Chain A
Amino acid sequence: MVVMKFFVIAMSLVFTSLVLAQNNTQGKTISDISDNDGSVRIIDPKKEVSVAKSAAIDTENFELGLFAGFLAVEDFSSNLVYGASFSYHITPSFLAQLNYGTSDVNKATFEDVANASFLSDGDRAFEYYNILAGYRILRGRSFFGANKKYNSDIYLLAGIGSVDFAGSSNSSFVLGTSYRVVLTDAIVANLDIRGHSVERDFLDDSKRTFNTEYVFGLNFLF
């Protein structure tokens, strides 16, 4: 009987010490348990959220731009071309674009050999105006190095225009693509490849010519 009482007392002591130990460890870390003063240290994480700012064509609908590049004129040579463009973003996917460009076409080699000029100085300028419709086939972003990222789009361009060259003015068809990178909220860079198909009458030869142009441009958004 004495043994029984001793066993019950021993079990009560063990149970009581377990309950006390449980109460002491609740809500504390291992390091807190070892603290003698019983104070709780709360670690407050830094709440600095880095804000990524994305430049985009959002509220701006118009672009005014300048461009320069090369124009290869059929039967002649490849020369510097420069010009200006005005674009209107009708919707995020469609734009309308007016372009003006001019290129001074050097003498063709046969003119040099003949030591004659088959075109007057005024007729040597390949001058064009056109109105193009652009459809954004892809939108995305481009990475420049490891740390810079820009919104970018690829547009298909098509339209009609007029070309003044070799003493006549003829209507033209234009087909091209435009790779556009939004550098800031106000500036867009574009790299365009365009083909100008135009009728031309030169040296009694009337034919449809294809003239290849590629240009780099900077556009101001407003």
Chain B
Amino acid sequence: MAKAQSASSFSKNDIDSEFLELGANIGVINIEDFPSEYALGVNLTFRATEDIFLQLNLMSVSDVGLSSAEKNQGAFFSDGDRDFLHYDMLVGYNFFQGEFFTSSPAAHLSTLHIVGGIGETEFGDESNFSYVFGLGYKIAFYRSYILNFDVRQYVYQSSLIAEDDTTVATHMSVGFSYLF
């Protein structure tokens, strides 16, 4: 009888139906030929299936410092041009689905994922089409609160120092996101 009552009170709301994730992260970016800097970012993730997700990212670095070469020979550019801005759209694949255990008996879901996509990088009064590759892992400490570790590489053609030079910026970050 009790079972029948609980079954009858089951509603659609009890089914996990979250598919959007809003997140923020902090990290370090190594811009080729320039110093490493702290970077802040936000992202929106759409969980298309259990294995595949789409993600929009925006990250920014204000006032990238002078490289050793610039300190020695003079700044290549200055002021607002030294702000680094990158945004992209990525497709992610959950390579390893997993679960992790802390001291509590509950299992925390996790994934190891790879991502790839395209975006735009603005730096030094240039705006360059960028390819993005990366990997990362997510751990859901609570159902809706997720810890993220990520490494991304932004590959683009830059003419800041030499004409059409293939440039790689490596971005490492840790972030939190909320699933809703």
Contacts and interface: CB of A to CB of B under 8 A. Distances in A.
Which 6 A-B pairs give the minimum distances between C-beta atoms?
A140-B100, A72-B30, A142-B98, A72-B170, A138-B100, A205-B68
B69 interface: yes
A210 B31 CA distance: 11
21 contacts: A72-B36, A73-B30, A78-B32, A78-B168, A109-B33, A109-B162, A110-B67, A110-B73, A113-B161, A140-B108, A141-B98, A143-B98, A150-B96, A154-B137, A193-B149, A200-B68, A203-B68, A203-B71, A205-B68, A210-B28, A212-B172
A77 B32 contact: yes
A140 B72 contact: no
A112 interface: yes
Given A74-B30, A179-B112, A193-B172, A212 B101 contact: no
A147 to B, nearest CB: 13
Nearest to B34: A75
Interface in A63-101: 70, 72-78
A144 B162 contact: no
Given A75-B69, A193-B151, A110 B101 contact: no
Interface of A: 70, 72-78, 108-110, 112-113, 118, 138-144, 150, 152, 154, 177, 179, 181, 191, 193, 195, 200, 202-205, 207, 209-212, 214
Given A154-B137, A204-B72, 20 more contacts: A72-B30, A72-B168, A73-B30, A74-B36, A75-B68, A108-B69, A109-B161, A109-B162, A109-B165, A109-B167, A113-B162, A118-B69, A139-B101, A140-B99, A141-B99, A142-B97, A142-B112, A143-B97, A203-B71, A209-B36
A139 B100 CA distance: 5
B1 to A, nearest CB: 30
Contacts of A112: 162, 165
Contacts of A214: 135, 151, 172
B153 interface: yes
B110 interface: yes
A212 B36 contact: yes
A47 to B, nearest CB: 31
B107 interface: yes
Contacts of B153: 70, 78
Nearest to B163: A113
A108 B33 CA distance: 6
A181 B30 contact: no
A191 B102 CA distance: 21
B137 A179 contact: yes
B80 interface: no
Nearest to A109: B161
Given A138-B108, A205-B68, A207-B68, A76 B151 contact: no
A113 B158 CA distance: 13
A62 to B, nearest CB: 25
B139 interface: yes
Interface string B82-121: 0000000000000111111110000110101000000000
Nearest to B95: A144
Contacts of A110: 33, 67, 69, 73, 161
Contacts of B137: 154, 179
Contacts of B112: 142, 179, 191
B100 to A, nearest CB: 3
A143 to B, nearest CB: 5
Contact of B33 (A75, A143, A152, A202): A75
Contacts of B168: 72, 77-78
Contacts of B161: 109-110, 113
A110 B73 CA distance: 10
B132 to A, nearest CB: 14
